[in-house]
């Protein structure tokens, strides 16, 4: 490279440095404003997330004159908003004195009741069944297509509570719901365990020999994998919900389609059960959580859920878990999820027995918080032990 080109490259790099310096100044100003907004939300009891605001920010992309840069500009704004959300989330749980807000103000209630409750899926889904078993037939219900739609509806005050599946006894945790819990900062206020009874449904008069396509939720396929191995010629078509698969078959009106769904879905959508109870395991339960905008506390609450991230160094997980043994607490579950913005670092979801009225429990939580790089108390609520005491096979 000759001296002229070297000088040109040097000038361009200097220009980049000047732009970077200006970007950092603007970044600092923006994040300081983000903190002001977070403090305003805390003072006025406003939800941390505002999806409509995010959409308005992304509309600014139209200001980019070089249309080839429109997509990178969108990615840039999304990255900035991701950092902003993280700062706001930390502000919500960490006051100015530098210690995490371990114990939020708890509203004591006799029971959790709501006028309007949302669930993912359509009538006939197991989520709707969990809703009805927990709340009865009193509340109005609203159904949504995706898990995040339920969270959005709760944030927008469209519903009082949401009902979502969190884990299955056979296939494990549902990652999307775990991630949404921390992203939105809502609280678990209750749970309901439902025995999952999968059936093969088709149009009346159809036979197994007619079937070419079978649709269901991906969890339905996993939970019935042994049965499906008998029919490798069937095309498996995933849909958003088991009840949606039943309606899809009913709407299609062709004997070549089948679905894996509940008995109630068969009744609702006029389908015939070709094969009953095709689960791999009859003791197949899904644990559904009831989420609310704010924590609710009941004297009978005996289960606590936490989300913690630990420093990436030897012994850090041991130090967190040691507090359970040291304080005589029974840890019921631990599950890890990779952190989106940190390679090979994990967020741990922990369930254990306890009540926040117990000083030993409070002490243990405070000690766990001190060992955590991130901490969120997800809820203290009554455990539903149905899946431990009763399995119906009839």
Contact partners, residue 126, CB within 8 Å, separation at least 6: 165, 194, 196, 242, 262, 286, 288
Distance CA 41, CA 88 (A): 9
Listing DSSP states for 164-225 in one string gives EEEEETTTEE-HHHHHHHHHHT-EEEEEEEEE---EEEE-TT--GGG--EEEE-HHHHHHTH
Strands 235-238 and 213-216: parallel
Distance CA 283, CA 41 (A): 45
DSSP tag of 105? P
Distance CA 214, CA 226 (A): 15
User: Percentage helix, strand, coil, to 5, in the chain?
Assistant: 40, 25, 35
Query: Among the options 242, 285, 286, 375, which is catalytic?
Result: 286
Burial class (CB in 10 A: 0-12, 13-18, 19+), 132: middle
Distance CA 329, CA 281 (A): 30
Residue 119 a catalytic site member? no
Helix (H) or strand (E) holding 331: strand 331-338
Token readout for 23 is 């970007």
Residue 288 a catalytic site member? yes
Query: Among the options 285, 288, 324, 348, which is catalytic?
Result: 288
> Contact, 369 vs 354, CB < 8 A?
no
Token readout for 120 is 């993912």
Listing DSSP states for 13-41 in one string gives HHHHHHHHHHHHHHHHHHHHHHHHHHHHH
Distance CA 96, CA 16 (A): 36
Provide the annotated active-site residues.
286, 288
């Amino acid at each position: 490279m000759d001296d002229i080109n070297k000088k040109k490259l040097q000038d361009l790099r200097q220009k980049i440095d000047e732009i970077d310096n200006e970007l950092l100044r603007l970044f600092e100003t923006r994040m300081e404003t983000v903190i002001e907004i977070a403090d305003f939300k805390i003072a006025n009891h406003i939800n941390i997330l505002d999806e409509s605001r995010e959409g308005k920010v992304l509309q600014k992309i139209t200001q980019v004159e070089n249309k080839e840069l429109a997509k990178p500009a969108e990615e840039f704004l999304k990255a900035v908003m991701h950092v902003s959300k993280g700062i706001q989330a930390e502000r919500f749980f960490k006051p100015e004195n530098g210690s995490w807000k371990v114990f939020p103000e708890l509203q004591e209630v006799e029971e959790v009741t709501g006028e309007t409750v949302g669930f993912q899926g359509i009538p006939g889904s197991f989520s709707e069944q969990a809703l009805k078993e927990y709340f009865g037939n009193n509340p109005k219900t609203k159904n949504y297509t995706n898990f995040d739609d339920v969270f959005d509806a709760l944030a927008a005050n469209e519903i009082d509570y949401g009902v979502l599946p969190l884990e299955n006894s056979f296939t494990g945790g549902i990652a999307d719901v775990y991630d949404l819990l921390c992203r939105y900062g809502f609280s678990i206020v209750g749970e309901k365990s439902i025995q999952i009874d999968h059936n093969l449904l088709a149009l009346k008069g159809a036979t197994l020999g007619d079937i070419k396509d079978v649709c269901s939720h991906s969890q339905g396929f996993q939970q019935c994998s042994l049965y499906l191995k008998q029919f490798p010629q069937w095309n498996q078509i995933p849909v958003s919900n088991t009840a949606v698969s039943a309606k899809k078959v009913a709407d299609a009106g062709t004997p070549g389609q089948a679905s894996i769904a509940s008995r109630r879905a068969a009744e609702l959508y006029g389908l015939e059960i070709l094969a009953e109870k095709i689960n791999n395991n009859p003791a197949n339960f899904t644990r559904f959580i009831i989420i609310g905008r704010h924590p609710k506390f009941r004297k009978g609450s005996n289960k606590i859920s936490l989300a913690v991230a630990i420093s990436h160094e030897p012994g850090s997980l041991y130090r967190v878990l040691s507090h359970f043994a040291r304080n005589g607490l029974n840890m019921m579950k631990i599950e890890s999820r990779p952190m989106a913005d940190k390679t090979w670092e994990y967020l741990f979801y922990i369930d254990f027995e306890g009540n926040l009225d117990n000083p030993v429990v409070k002490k243990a939580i405070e000690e766990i918080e001190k060992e955590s790089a991130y901490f969120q108390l997800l809820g203290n609520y009554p455990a539903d032990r149905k899946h431990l005491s009763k399995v119906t096979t009839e």
